[in-house]
Amino acid sequence: MSESIVGTLLLVLNLLFSYQGFRDRQYFEKYKFHIDSILIDKEYYRMISSGFLHVSWIHLAFNMIALTSFAPIVEIFFGVPVFVLIYFTCLIGGNLLALFLHKNHGDYSAVGASGAISGVVFCSIILFPYGDIRFILIPIDFPAWFFGVAFVLGSIYGIKNKIGNIGHDAHLGGALMGILFTALYYPNVVIANWWIVLLLFVPTVLFLYLIVNNPAVLMIENYWGETLSKKNYQNPFKDKFNTKKPHHQSDEVPNFAPRTNEEELNNLLDKIRKSGFKSLSNSERKRLKDLRDKL
């Protein structure tokens, strides 16, 4: 297979910018993905520049091997201009998802081309779902569609449980953009392999829908948005504004404090689910973190 023109150019750019980041910490800090710098200081260039920095030579090597492995076939099918568009769209798409998921974590930072490369990989998977993919250290061939499903589910699990020092959110966002791009450009391929596309697309959309409607899912381990255990406690806010009192009720202000840590945690989760994370005060956010660590 012929080499990718764009892939080779991107390889060189990643090597140059990453090397500069390795030797100059100030340069690295200036161009990395950083939540507060993007949202508060409006340094939007970080959405792209961070994709050309890496934390180590190993990190860079794995990304570049993946890029040069999948770039040629994608470039052949889409052409050079569209391939460039795919790469940067997936890079930005991955970082947008990371920005959304971590918008309340001002000190969150990340680097790497993984989002863009995930998009390129998934373009290839949609085009050739029955092709073989082999990991570097595992001498076993996997069907491309199977790898794609495992990658999506692994990314969702990694985001939910914060597994490793890995940008699972950028991976998932880039992959989603790659799927959408290929579906728009080659709809016939998607129609022919509709069940594979659904296997890749549906879990991602359901997960995003879940965390948009209930941000607490990302905050509490083993919590997936299931109904809060209201059987075990009475919602302390339920009757707070009910002016009709039983005849035996005194005029004293009732004590709405929950009886256990679990009840207090459920109260905070309920508030997040109804009004969003920003509705919590600083003390409530600190208390949420303490309760999450305890439970």
Residue 105 has pLDDT above 90, yes or no: no
pLDDT band at 1 (very low <50, low <70, confident <90, very high): very low
Question: In this structure, what token pair is assigned to residue 155?
Answer: 């990314």
What is the model's pLDDT at position 102? 86
pLDDT band at 241 (very low <50, low <70, confident <90, very high): very low
153-177 confidence digits (pLDDT tens): 999 888 887 776 788 889 999 999 9
89-101 confidence digits (pLDDT tens): 999 999 999 998 8
Summary mean pLDDT of the chain: 81
pLDDT band at 273 (very low <50, low <70, confident <90, very high): low
CA atoms within 13 A on the CB side of 221: 10
5-213: CATH architecture: Up-down Bundle (1.20)
Angle between helices 194-213 and 144-161 (to 10 degrees): 10
52-65 confidence digits (pLDDT tens): 999 999 999 999 99
Domain boundaries, the chain: 5-213, 230-294
194-236 confidence digits (pLDDT tens): 898 888 888 988 888 888 877 777 777 667 766 544 444 344 4
Residue 229: phi, psi to the nearest 5? -75, 70
Q: How far apart are the first and last CA of the chain?
A: 54
